[in-house]
Amino acid sequence: MDTTQRTDQQRSADRRRRELLEAADRVVLRDGPQASMNAIAAEAGITKPILYRHFGDKGGLYAALAKRHTDALLDSLRAALDAPADRRERVEATLDTYLAAIEARPQVYRFLMHPADGGQVGDQGFDVGKHSVPLLRRMGEELAQVIEDRVDLGPGSQQLARVWGHGIVGMMHAAGDWWLGERPCSRAELVRSLADLLWGRLAAAGDKVGGPGF
């Protein structure tokens, strides 16, 4: 059992795993997150137990699937975030990148964000909500890091950066989710509105006085 053979096997296993994930991707994107293991196995041209050998349980498969997309999205966000530009431009670019991603592949987005699981059933001890939370959390942490690295916030900067990281990501997420459902305006308008919000326009605006009695 020399190293070369082990590597061979490992390579083939990894390759198989990737094929399975791609098949699962197709099915999940077609049937939604309630896709059954049988359906995924059939799409991959095999049967259930193999899926279980590779991923443990349904949660494992979904986690692997989510990781792929999450990593891909985070990569593109990092590019926008790390660009050598003005802060406002970077914020707008990041927002736009995120929104463009969810606009381009809403099915993927729904899968990542609205688990609406499928992995809740059965015995017990299944760790629910494995997908959406990690993505938001990871985005939040990355953003926090960037903020802390590049913005001068004085004392307590680390905690402030983390709060803001998670808060901004949540703002982006919720606004994007709503926008994707209703499409009330163009992507550019949404980006602008959100950036305006972050730029303190809510605080700067005046009170409305013409209202009824208020």
* Least separation in angstroms between CB 45 and a second copy: 24
- Tokens found for residue 46: 């095999």
- Chain positions contacting DNA, by CB under 7 A: 5, 9, 12-13, 16, 36-38, 45-50, 52-53, 57-59, 118-119, 121-123, 126
Which of 58, 168, 74 is closest to 120 using CA atoms? Answer: 58
For a second copy (CB under 8 A), the number of binding residues is: 66
The reply to whether 106 sits near a second copy by the rule CB under 8 A is no
* Least separation in angstroms between CB 68 and DNA: 19
* Least separation in angstroms between CB 51 and DNA: 8
Instruction: Choose one: 10-18, 32-40, 42-50, 73-81; the region binding a second copy (CB under 8 A).
Output: 32-40
User: From residue 155, how far is each of 152, 158, 160, 161 by CA, in Å?
Assistant: 9, 8, 9, 11
- Measured on CA atoms in the order 207, 208, 210, 214, is the torsion positive or negative? negative
Evaluate whether 175 touches 113 at the Cβ level (below 8 Å). Answer: no
Instruction: Work out what residue 97 binds among a second copy, DNA, none; the CB cut-off runs from 5 to 8 Å by kind.
Output: none
Residue type, 17: R
CA distance 119 to 60: 10
* Least separation in angstroms between CB 4 and DNA: 9
CA distance 83 to 100: 17
Contact with a second copy (CB under 8 A) among 107, 126, 138, 187 = 126
The reply to whether 159 sits near a second copy by the rule CB under 8 A is yes
Identity of the residue, 24 or 143, whose beta carbon is nearer to DNA in the bound complex: 24
